[in-house]
Amino acid sequence: MSAAIGVPLLEAIYCLGCTRWAYKRCIYIGADDSSSWTAAEAHELEPIPRVCQLVLAVYERDLQHPKWAPPGGYKISLENVVKKTSDLERIVPPYLIYVDHEHRDIVLTIRGLNLRRENDYLVLWDNKLGRQEFLDGYVHHGLLRAAVWLLYQEKETLRNCITKHPTYTLTFGGHSLGSGVAALMAVLAIQFPFLLADIPRKQIRCYAIAPARCMSLNLAVKYADVINSIILQDDFLPRTATPLEDIFKSMFCLPCLLGYRCLKDTCISEEKLLHDPRRLYAPGRMYHIVERKFCSCWKHPPVVKSGIPVEGRFEHIVLSCNAISDHSILAIMEESEKALQMLRDKDTETNTPPIQKMTRQQTRAKEQDQEHKAALRRAATLEVCPQPEAPCEAGQLKLKIEWDELLDKLFRKDDAGKFVWNK
């Protein structure tokens, strides 16, 4: 008798939870995530299309005879390509190192997930909640291994580029899976500056395009002055708190995964999730490209909003037919170029003097700095990261010891004493 009552009751609770979750998601649109943020300016968006193009260039087997070049080409000089790897050569996702003399920038870009590449899955699945502690926080274990390995392999190449061009910026860029590797490489470059000719923090940048959740909230906020996440409207990946490895392992049982998410979102408060230090988030400052409105069947001119949220950091999956297509790097590049051109046209129409543009950029930089400090204080009040303190410089010897210890933890040595990747 009890079983006859219990089973229908459980089914009713399950259906109620799913109905509540579906209702909340149906009235929730991607633009809601950034509705209170400030509009980004042209100088902030300028690097985004360039980084997208360099990420796309990694997909090409032969840059001299490109097959998938966007309109206008990749706009790169082949003699300035320092290194380019392919699927067959590396354990980590393929990448490109390029010296952009026009923009005085040294760029390393990393490709996204290749569904036919086994090693990409090995990186993706190499994680469990709370497995990898790093710098008073938590990170995705597999992505950290890939970032450390890539920096270990290419530190000499990058150091030579930096030594030749000490005033150039160093930019890490990646899409999807590559965005997590790029973001963690930027953190490593800041934490271990001796590896890259002691390049200062202000010269390091990262653009995580359609980012994966790869670091805990305290780290995501702490490095928001360096890491920039680029998200197109309804993109599913930055909003998916379910671990990456579970998503792809559940590809053949998505109803089970969605049912689990329904009940979890219904029964667990956002406040409780926020106080879980192991929970991973999209990294850094967020740039949200919005091009659609509620109940609208067509696209509007793209608007880019910028912010460093602490609460509500893309926590809700959007039920949208564009959730997957908005993850495309081609779509992100196209919409970011449109938004940038609109802002440039606006400046041209208003005939803004160069001095006024420079003053506005300086004012914007001060505003962003204050916003970053406010986000750090807010995160400290929520006890997700310690109170911000004055930076202290660790000795180079101590940093070298910490770097060696990190390599020892993540890899093993062969008979010649070199670190090797063990699956």
pLDDT score for 254? 47
| Domains and their CATH numbers in the chain | 36-388+397-412 (3.40.50.1820)
Handedness of CA 375, 378, 384, 386 (dihedral sign): positive
pLDDT for 326 beyond 80 = yes
CA angle at residue 304 from 173 to 99, to 5 degrees? 25
The residue-averaged pLDDT of 277-291 equals: 90
Nearest residue to 40 (alpha-carbon basis) of 377, 375, 361: 361
Distance CA(219)–CA(34), nearest Å, equals: 21
As given in the structure block, the two tokens for residue 145 are: 């291994």
Q: Per-residue pLDDT for 102 more than 60? A: yes
What's the confidence (pLDDT) of residue 277? 74
- What's the pLDDT band for 392 if we cut at 50, 70, 90? low
Bridge partners for 173 per DSSP: 109, 207
Task: Output the CA angle 86-89-93, nearest 5 degrees.
Answer: 60
Give the tens place of pLDDT for each residue, 217-274.
Answer: 999 999 999 999 999 988 888 887 655 555 555 544 545 555 555 555 555 566 666 6
Closest CA to 299 of 338, 256, 261, 271: 338
Buried b (16+ CB within 10 A) or exposed e, 194-225: ebbbebeeebbbbbbbbbbbbbbbbbbbbbbb
pLDDT tens digits, 16-56: 766 766 666 666 667 777 888 999 999 999 999 999 999 99
- Structure-block tokens of residue 185: 């490489």
Top mean-pLDDT range of 1-10, 90-99, 351-360: 90-99
User: 296-309: per-residue pLDDT in tens?
Assistant: 667 788 999 999 98
pLDDT for 260: 56
Q: Which residues pair with residue 38 across a beta bridge?
A: 306
**Is the whole model's pTM more than 0.95, yes or no?**
no
Question: CA neighbours within 13 Å on the CB side: how many for 356?
Answer: 6
Q: How far apart are CA 319 and CA 316, in angstroms?
A: 9
Residue 128 pLDDT greater than 60, yes or no: yes
Pairing label, strands 285-290, 227-232 = parallel
- For residues 367-378, average pLDDT: 91
